[in-house]
């Protein structure tokens, strides 16, 4: 089809859909399939098609994912996180907080993760149930939390967040707490593993720390068809997203912030010593949550890959094209899809190193596996962590300390930016004890205070 005809057809489809949406704006939430919403999103951008993503399953496929470092097509350069849009070099904390950081947040809002609405409906927490439990021999109190979002402005959508908080029954002071982003599909398996003496849950309780599971599915569904439901749908009163509306990763991060609100009201917890953990897609969300929420003190970012800690400019494993495809596009805002179509990776105004830089100067541990975890590109995440380290230095914190990729099972743990690749596959289990020791260094010897004057 001629390009002008294709654009005309796209405009016709978009106009027809907008007419349909307008007619139903006061009615129930608009129901679109993932495929319909993905197509609608491309139409809003005037794009007829996207480049094909990498196939991570079939090495013989024409578009097989690249796992050869010599073919990773090294990028010519990365956007400099310490160079303002006015081409001024950032050398002081004041320049970072007042000028450069707000610029980067705006670029991520506009092009990558989307803008959180200015007025998201309020949420009220309650303890639905509290009871005694025993985790690997450790007495604890389990609190089942429910967070009800005010839907009075649009009653057709109800949102109730679910979280499970486990606090050591015997402790000498309010407990630090780490939130794990997960869904209820996996929670029973995690609770079973928790009963093992060497589980990370048992390790935390033995230290006098608390942990929580936050069910992200109760915040926002992990698919495109759910974008007119959940907190995104409620904020939009049941209508589809505009091109820079927030995606699912930011919505999950919003949920983590709201759970932190609860922590600040619970006398059993020391909310000033809190952390977040996520693996795979939840690793992406945990990093995004840290970038936007100043109260999160420390993070364990496991196998986050593209859209998380992996540099988008590297042709290795998962690509921008995969994240923009129907199976993953909902994580991001619509504008992101341009970089898998008419625009190239090198035209991205920011990359993963800039996202990690937004966490500075707080400690963050970037983790990956080996066999079976190539998709997330451990080296690409390491390079992003190294490229973010100069920002930490400007803020008076130690970065990664090297640009030399370490051997497997060799942790770079001395700085506020840490990295370790374990020898197992796509799992967060092997690096949990490493992370807990890392957190203890800050919480027990040098507590991490919440950032003050942090720009929203």
Q: What is the pLDDT of residues 338-361, one digit of tens each?
A: 999 999 999 999 999 999 999 999
Q: What is the longest distance spanned by two Cα atoms in the chain?
A: 72
Residue 278 forms beta bridges with which residues?
A: 301
- Of 299, 281, 282, 280, give the one whose Cα is nearest residue 291: 299
**Nearest-angstrom CA–CA distance, 166 and 81:** 39
Across 17-21, 40-44, 292-296, 325-329, least confident range: 17-21
pLDDT band at 87 (very low <50, low <70, confident <90, very high): very high
Is the separation of the CB atoms in 355 and 287 below 8 Å?
yes
Residue 345 has φ and ψ, to the nearest 5°, of: -60, -40
Peptide bond into 188 cis (omega under 30): no
Pairing mode, strands 210-215 and 160-168 = antiparallel
**In Å, what is the CA distance from 111 to each residue of 35, 77, 82, 98, 289?**
22, 19, 19, 21, 17
Q: Residues 132-136: what's their mean pLDDT?
A: 96
In 289-423 the beta strands, taken as DSSP E runs, fall at: 298-302, 364-368, 417-421
d(Cα 20, Cα 40) in Å, to the nearest integer? 12
**Averaged pLDDT of the chain:** 93
Instruction: For 229-279, write each residue's pLDDT tens digit.
Output: 999 999 999 999 999 999 999 999 999 999 999 999 999 999 999 999 999
Q: Which pLDDT value is given to residue 17?
A: 54
Q: Identify the pLDDT of residue 331.
A: 98
Give percent of the chain with pLDDT exceeding 90. 87
DSSP structure class, residue 137: T
The CATH number for 123-445, chosen from 3.90.1150.10, 3.40.50.12780, 3.40.50.1820, 1.10.8.60, is 3.40.50.1820
Per-residue pLDDT, 26: 52
Among the listed residues 125, 119, 112, 454, the one whose alpha carbon sits nearest the alpha carbon of residue 292: 454
Tell me: pLDDT of 11 over 70: no
Q: What is the mean pLDDT of residues 137-142?
A: 97
For the chain, give every domain's residue range: 123-445
pLDDT per residue over 360-406, tens digit each?
A: 999 999 999 998 999 999 999 999 999 999 999 999 999 999 999 99
- pLDDT for res 176: 97
Residue 73: its pLDDT value, please? 83
Cα–Cα distance list, 14 to 34, 37, 200 (Å): 16, 11, 49
Going by pLDDT thresholds of 50, 70 and 90, the confidence category of residue 151 is very high
Q: Which residue has the higher pLDDT, 12 or 300?
A: 300
pLDDT band at 88 (very low <50, low <70, confident <90, very high): very high
CA atoms 417, 421, 424, 427: torsion sign: positive
Q: What is the SS3 assignment for 412?
A: strand
DSSP code for 455: -
Please say if the pLDDT value at position 451 is more than 50. Answer: no
Strand 123-135 to 298-302 pairing: unpaired
Mean pLDDT of 421-440: 96
**Among the ranges given (63-72, 382-391, 439-448), the one the predictor scored with the smallest mean pLDDT:** 439-448
pLDDT digits (tens, 9 = 90+) for 161-194: 999 999 999 988 999 999 999 998 888 888 899 9
């Amino acid at each position: 089809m001629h390009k002008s005809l294709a654009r005309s057809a796209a405009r016709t489809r978009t106009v027809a859909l907008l007419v349909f949406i307008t007619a139903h704006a006061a009615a129930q939430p608009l129901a679109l399939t993932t495929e319909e919403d993905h197509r609608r999103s491309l139409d809003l951008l005037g794009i007829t098609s996207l480049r094909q993503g990498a196939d991570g399953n079939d090495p013989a496929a024409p578009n097989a994912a690249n796992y050869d470092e010599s073919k990773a097509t090294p990028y010519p350069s990365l956007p400099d996180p310490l160079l303002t849009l006015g081409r001024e070099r950032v050398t002081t904390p004041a320049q970072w907080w007042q000028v450069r950081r707000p610029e980067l947040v705006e670029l991520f809002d506009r092009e990558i993760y989307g803008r959180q609405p200015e007025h998201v409906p309020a949420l009220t927490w309650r303890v639905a149930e509290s009871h005694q439990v025993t985790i690997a021999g450790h007495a604890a109190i389990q609190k089942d939390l429910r967070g009800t979002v005010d839907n009075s402005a649009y009653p057709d959508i109800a949102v109730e967040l679910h979280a499970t908080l486990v606090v050591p029954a015997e402790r000498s002071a309010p407990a630090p707490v780490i939130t794990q982003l997960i869904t209820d599909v996996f929670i029973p398996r995690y609770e079973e593993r928790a009963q093992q003496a060497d589980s990370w849950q048992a390790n935390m309780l033995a230290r006098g720390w608390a942990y929580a599971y936050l069910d992200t599915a109760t915040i926002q569904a992990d698919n495109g068809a759910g974008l007119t439901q959940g907190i995104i749908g409620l904020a939009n009163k049941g209508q589809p997203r505009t091109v820079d509306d927030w995606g699912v990763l930011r919505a999950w991060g919003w949920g983590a912030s709201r759970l932190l609100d609860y922590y600040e009201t619970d006398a059993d917890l020391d909310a000033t010593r809190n952390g977040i953990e996520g693996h795979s897609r939840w690793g992406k969300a945990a990093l995004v949550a840290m970038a936007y929420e100043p109260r999160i003190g420390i993070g364990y970012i496991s196998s986050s890959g593209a859209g998380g800690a992996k540099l988008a400019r590297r042709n290795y494993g998962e690509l921008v094209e995969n994240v923009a495809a129907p199976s993953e596009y909902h994580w991001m805002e619509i504008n992101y899809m341009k970089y898998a179509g008419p625009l190239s990776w090198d035209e991205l105004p920011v990359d993963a190193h800039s996202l990690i830089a937004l966490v500075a100067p707080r400690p963050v541990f970037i983790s990956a596996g080996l066999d079976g975890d190539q998709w997330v590109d451990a080296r690409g995440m390491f390079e992003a962590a190294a490229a973010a380290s100069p920002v930490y230095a400007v803020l008076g914190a130690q970065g990664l300390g090297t640009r030399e990729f370490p051997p497997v099972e060799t942790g770079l743990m001395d700085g506020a930016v840490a990295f370790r690749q374990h020898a197992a596959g796509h799992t967060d289990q092997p690096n949990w004890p490493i992370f807990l020791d890392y957190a203890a260094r800050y919480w027990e010897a040098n507590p991490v205070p919440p950032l003050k004057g942090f720009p929203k």
